[in-house]
Amino acid sequence: MSVHILGIRHHGPGSARNVRAYLEALQPDIVLVEGPPEADPLLQWVGHDQLQPPVAILAYEPETPAHSAFYPFATYSPEWQAISYARSRNIPVKFMDLPLTHVFALENEKQPEPEVPPATDAHHFDPTALLATADGYEDAEAWWDHMFEYRRHNEDIFDAVMESMELLREELSSRNDSMNQLREAWMRKLIRQAEKEMYTEIAVVCGAWHAPALKHMPPAKADNELMKGLPKTKVACSWTPWTFERLSTQSGYRAGITSPGWYMHKWEHPEDNGTRWLTNVARLFREKQMDISTAHVMEAVRLSNALAAMRALPMPALEELNEATVSVLCNGDTLPMQLIRQQLIVSNNIGAVPDDVPKAPLQADIEKHQKRLRLPLTADYKDYQLDLRETNDLQRSILLHRLQLLDINWGEQRHAEGKGTFKEQWRLQWEPALAVDVIDKSCWGNTITDAANAYVTHMATRNRQLKDCCRLLENCIPADLPEATATLIHSVNNMAATNHDVVQLIDVLPPLVSITRYGNVRKTDAGLVLDILESIITRICINLPAASTHLSEDAATALLDQYYAMNDAVQTLSNPRLITQWQQALHKVMNDVQSASCLAGYATRLLNDSRELSAETLLQTFSVAMSVSNDPTAAAMWLEGFLKGSGTLLLVDDSLFALLRNWMQQLEEEHFMQALPLLRRAFSAFSTPERRQIGEKIKQGSTSTTVTNHDTYLHTERAVKGIPVVMQMLGYHLTQKKPENA
Amino acid sequence: MSDILRQHAEVLYATELEALRTQDHDKRPFNWSMSPQSVVTYLTGGTLKNGLEITPKYIGSRRLMEIAVATLATDRALLLYGLPGTAKSWVSEHLAAAISGDSTLIVQGTAGTSEESIRYGWNYARLLSEGPSERAIVETPVMRAMRDGKIARIEELTRIGADVQDTLITILSEKSLPIPELNTEVQATRGFNMIATANNRDKGVNDLSSALKRRFNTVILPVPTSIDEEIDIVTRRVESFEKVMELPAEKPALQEIRRIVTIFRELRSGITNDGKTKLKSPTGTLSTAEAISVVNNGLALAAYFGDGRLNAADLAAGIIGAVIKDPVQDKLVWQEYLETVVKPREEWKDIYRACRDLGA
């Protein structure tokens, strides 16, 4: 009877191969693997056709699914190889780490708000770094790769690992915290148990760091003492598809590796001297329209091998291949390497899980929908353009919207190009972490419809902000959830009635307006929403003039944007009754001297835009607002409001342009000097090309006016002589005043 | 001390090269005077088994030098690419010195470089009297390198006209130089290879044709990554200058070098070292090599006209000269830098005053 301890790193083609070879030679009758014992029943799936790595065991607390842990496996994970060896030989295989039921419970005790714990044992400080430095490597990862992963002949490799780890554990005894001790005690317990069960050849696959602790068995009593009275909690497990991207350290996975795609290549082609790899690189470059010849590849292979020889390596590793790629294929330019990194070194692989693996009902329902609507999970993003007039696309859109309502952000809605409201653009990208979100929402219902309805209703009753409710309503309509929609409309109506804040009311307008537009395509009843909308607009029109008075500059500027949104909403609805109401409100704001100047200015503009003001009224209002007696700041604000965003409008609308020009021309020099800064300020909001074009227009305009001036040239001295006569005819007395216009 | 103004690398570092050669136990490529590993050691420095310290010639990434040497060990030519003053020619000279023991087989590329200066020329007197013959041929450095199996160097490859550049294609791919007049050819002996340098700042240069580019492995020499690395480079090079020039001036204070390097780095990168202020960059490159020459210049000034100690005034003229390459634009850039960055720095008062006094 003997126990064989195989110390490994969690993911590595060399370790995986060694483990496999060792097990083939040893022919053990039981295999113990580092991992949560709760997941033991899941091991029967290994070997199933549809279980394709990378996959992960997802373990979570059913009560609080956000408290979860992942155990990812790639084909080249030694654990995976050990498990699949055992499965293929039909010998028992078991996980032997400290059960998660205790781990989670301990974590819950430690902090009241559970965080997502590290996926597997975390190397806060990589202990192998010490050995790597001693061996003259800068990077512990590279050292391990060269020592263990790239090696092709591995006699006694596990003895070597054991010895080096023994040394390290002596050096770094402080690293063995209580959690580590507990875990190792549990591992020893399972080994003892296996011995008791009369297994003769026991193979143990565990992280290299733990290997020595399992070799030297302390008395069972001490271990049992340590494990006494551990707290417990419920744990559920499932398989979930994983991606290479999430296996890499970039994603924040702490036992991650830097180059999953490269390891896969090393696993599949251990004898490759770079030829195959560099050919793949060249093909990828060619796909991206970079000219790479076969001769380039040959030269790159040669250079990488020469580099390896210089560095005394038996075979070029990723560093050498990358350097050769930069030097030969990219002419020294490192930018294309980003492509290589993304596509080959990390590589976007996604695993698959059999349909009949036990899952949460909600998860199963979502998968059913995904399958029916042909929306496969992909690690890379994929764009969909949905035509909502098609049944299938409409169903897809509904599913995606529902998922979004449940905060499962698989798809991201993007701006659809082209006209019409019947198109939607989505970008879908599956993140393994989404599996947790799905489980997290399982408590809301067993089908996606139930869950979404229940979740939205819950949110509607909990939310006291009108704005949030409307946003929810906006999202709810395209998700086709009549129940939830009804609840939401009801609560929006109630809130709107009691709300006194005009700003908030205007805030909710755009989402509601867009709902009424959606109604056409989605066959939802927009009538209900229209009713609320009308009542809200009426409320706003009544309250707005009062709300626009006595405002600070900042508040007024903020409200200015609301005016814009409001105007937009009213124009979109194009209901004559509402438009009249809105215009009445604008008149009030315009004429009220108490109104904030920029709002009054903007109101004037809006009325002018809809041709509600006669030319005289406009000129009069304009002159009054810009009179010299006014506070210059107020006048400036008025002008700013009046010209808001209208750089192009000034160019196109000749009457507006003429108004401004005439007003300027009649200014006397002194007044002009005062008005100049105000104008400058108002114009500064326009874009540079707009300003330039306005300048050009003015230039053209002024030349044309000089021409007309020339035609009707006034002989001032003579004209002045005629003035008294004219004045007398008009009944004026000369003492009053000279005519203003010169 | 010999009266040669500047010795070749193989003479200047003869002891180091000899020691490396005798200590070398790794495999040498044919006609190489030492193994690739030793060449890398020669370039990046190290300590030999007998305790001899090899001074680093290139301060920077060892991996880059490994790529360069490995390239030369295969039959591909090496193209060193980078900004002016990033030690391209320097590396090229030392590579040739270490590999072939001879860094003199050099062709300077200019717009006027003709095919004759790359392939071969004729001794016309002989040509007229004897007719075409081997003896009437004037060998170029490239031809000699091919015959002897040595490293040929081409400086500023991109300055050579495109049609002339392409004569290299046959030499690099067929490794032979045909002489059609004599119906013969010179075939390269093993060990022959080529190092070309080119800078990527110049405008109006002749880009390599893709056929020629394919014959080169490109190594881009970067500007020094950290300020300490750059200071190290400047200090070492200035020390060796002092040795050659026998300057009586006191050793330059690290403080002064640090300031020069800081000024150059800040102007080059367009941002102050603390990352707080954006700056305009002048038109020149402000390479490390220029920093070295500013310090050298300052040392000479201090030695012959000053009190023998390097101070701000000795450096000011050199700095201004290096920064202001365009009399209008750069002057504004420099004045802005002087007023906004140099002036507020408490311990930089002397340098500010010195620069102001020079009226720039």
Chain A positions in Cβ-Cβ contact with residue B74 (cut-off 8 Å): 299, 302-303, 306
Look at chain A and count its residues: 742
Chain B contact probe: residue of A285, A299, A319, A329 with most B CBs at under 10 A: A299
In a domain, A264, yes or no: no
Chain B residue with minimum CA distance to A312: B37
Q: Does B335 touch chain A (CB under 8 A)?
A: no
In a domain, A440, yes or no: yes
Q: Which residue in A296, A303, A333 is closest to B70 by CB distance?
A: A303
Domain end (from A388, A419, A450) = A450
Shared domain for A94 and A186, answered yes or no, is yes
Contact A310 B69 (CB under 8 A): yes
Q: Which B residues in the span 200-239 are in contact with A, Cβ-Cβ below 8 Å?
A: 210, 213-214, 217-220
Chain B contact probe: residue of A138, A278, A328 with most B CBs at under 10 A: A328
Q: Could you tell me what percentage of chain B is helix, strand and coil, using 3-state DSSP and rounding each to the nearest 5? A: 50, 15, 35
Shared domain for A338 and A366, answered yes or no, is no
Q: Which residue in B36, B74, B219 is closest to A302 by CB distance?
A: B74
What digits encode the pLDDT tens for the residues B303-321? 777 777 777 888 888 888 8
Scan for tokens 């004729």, then name that residue: B122
In a domain, A295, yes or no: yes
Band (A605; pLDDT cuts 50, 70, 90):
confident
Q: Does A291 touch chain B (CB under 8 A)?
A: yes
Chain A positions in Cβ-Cβ contact with residue B218 (cut-off 8 Å): 327-328, 330-332
- d(CA A130, nearest CA chain B) in Å: 22
Chain A positions in Cβ-Cβ contact with residue B66 (cut-off 8 Å): 307, 310-311
What digits encode the pLDDT tens for the residues A169-191? 877 766 667 778 888 888 888 88
Output the pLDDT for position A742.
42
What digits encode the pLDDT tens for the residues A544-590? 888 888 888 788 888 888 888 888 888 888 888 888 888 888 888 88
Q: Which residue in A291, A309, A328 is closest to B217 by CB distance?
A: A328
Output the pLDDT for position A118.
42
- d(CA A393, nearest CA chain B) in Å: 49
Band (A707; pLDDT cuts 50, 70, 90):
very low
Shared domain for A91 and A151, answered yes or no, is yes
Report the half-sphere exposure of A373 (CA within 13 A, side-chain side).
21
Contact A331 B40 (CB under 8 A): no
In a domain, A439, yes or no: yes
Query: What backbone torsions phi and psi does residue A424 show, to the nearest 5 degrees?
Result: -135, 140
What does the pLDDT average to over B258-285?
82
Domain end (from A450, A479, A507) = A450
Contact B70 A331 (CB under 8 A): no
Chain A residue with minimum CA distance to B220: A332
Shared domain for A373 and A441, answered yes or no, is yes
Shared domain for A329 and A432, answered yes or no, is no
| Cβ–Cβ < 8 Å for B78, A306 | no
Contact B67 A333 (CB under 8 A): no
Q: Which A residues in the span 295-314 are in contact with B, Cβ-Cβ below 8 Å?
A: 295-296, 299, 302-303, 306-307, 309-311
Chain B positions in Cβ-Cβ contact with residue A319 (cut-off 8 Å): 63
Contact B220 A302 (CB under 8 A): no
What does the pLDDT average to over A516-537?
69
Residues 6+ apart with CB under 8 A from B74: A299, A302, A303, A306
Contact A303 B217 (CB under 8 A): yes
Q: Does B66 touch chain A (CB under 8 A)?
A: yes
Q: Which of A261, A200, A210 is nearest to A96 (CA)?
A: A210
Shared domain for A15 and A129, answered yes or no, is yes
In a domain, A471, yes or no: no
Contact A306 B73 (CB under 8 A): yes
Q: Exposure string (b/e) for A10-38, b if CB count within 10 Å is 16 or more?
A: bbbbbbbbbbbebbeeeebbbbbbbbbbb
Shared domain for A92 and A208, answered yes or no, is yes
Q: Does B25 touch chain A (CB under 8 A)?
A: no
Shared domain for A312 and A413, answered yes or no, is no
Asked if pLDDT for residue B223 goes beyond 50, the answer is yes
Shared domain for A41 and A177, answered yes or no, is yes
In a domain, A333, yes or no: yes
Scan for tokens 């905060």, then name that residue: A407
What does the pLDDT average to over A36-60?
84
Output the pLDDT for position A601.
86
> What whole-number distance in Å separates Cα of residue B213 and Cα of residue B198?
12
What digits encode the pLDDT tens for the residues A720-742? 888 888 888 877 765 544 444 44
Q: Which of A124-133, A556-565, A661-670 has the highest mean pLDDT?
A: A556-565
Query: What backbone torsions phi and psi does residue A117 show, to the nearest 5 degrees?
Result: -80, 165
Average pLDDT, chain A: 79
Chain A residue with minimum CA distance to B214: A296
Chain B residue with minimum CA distance to A322: B67
Domain end (from A450, A480, A499) = A450
Two structure tokens written together for A445: 């219902």
What digits encode the pLDDT tens for the residues B161-171? 988 999 999 99
What are the Cα distances from residue A334, in Å, to A331, A338, B7, B77, B220?
9, 8, 36, 20, 10
Contact B217 A333 (CB under 8 A): no
| Cβ–Cβ < 8 Å for B83, B223 | yes
Q: Which domain holds residue A284?
A: 271-346
Q: Does B169 touch chain A (CB under 8 A)?
A: no
**In chain A, how many domains are there?**
3
Chain A positions in Cβ-Cβ contact with residue B70 (cut-off 8 Å): 303, 306-307, 309-310
- d(CA A283, nearest CA chain B) in Å: 17
What does the pLDDT average to over B159-185?
91
What digits encode the pLDDT tens for the residues A286-319? 888 888 888 889 989 989 998 988 888 888 888 8
Asked if pLDDT for residue A711 goes beyond 80, the answer is no
Contact B73 A310 (CB under 8 A): yes
Output the pLDDT for position A374.
84
In a domain, A196, yes or no: yes
Shared domain for A186 and A220, answered yes or no, is yes
Q: Which A residues in the span 490-509 are in contact with B, Cβ-Cβ below 8 Å?
A: none
Output the pLDDT for position B229.
83
Q: Does B36 touch chain A (CB under 8 A)?
A: yes
Asked if pLDDT for residue A117 goes beyond 50, the answer is no
Output the pLDDT for position A120.
40
Q: Exposure string (b/e) for A58-80, b if CB count within 10 Å is 16 or more?
A: bbbbeeebebbbbbbbbbbbbbb
Inter-chain Cβ pairs, chain A and chain B, closer than 8 A: 55
Residue type (1 letter), B319: I
Chain B positions in Cβ-Cβ contact with residue A274 (cut-off 8 Å): none
> What whole-number distance in Å separates Cα of residue A171 and Cα of residue A174?
8
Output the pLDDT for position B114.
92
CA A496: distance to chain centroid?
Answer: 32
Q: Does B40 touch chain A (CB under 8 A)?
A: yes
Query: What backbone torsions phi and psi does residue B31 show, to the nearest 5 degrees?
Result: 70, 5
- d(CA A322, nearest CA chain B) in Å: 11
> What whole-number distance in Å separates Cα of residue B120 and Cα of residue B139?
5
ipTM confidence = 0.75
Shared domain for A322 and A435, answered yes or no, is no
Lowest mean pLDDT among A232-236, A325-329, B43-47, B185-189: A232-236
Contact A327 B218 (CB under 8 A): yes
In a domain, A11, yes or no: yes
Peptide linkage before A212 cis (omega within 30 of 0): no
Q: Which residue in B36, B63, B73 is closest to A323 by CB distance?
A: B63
Shared domain for A342 and A413, answered yes or no, is no
Chain A positions in Cβ-Cβ contact with residue B210 (cut-off 8 Å): 291
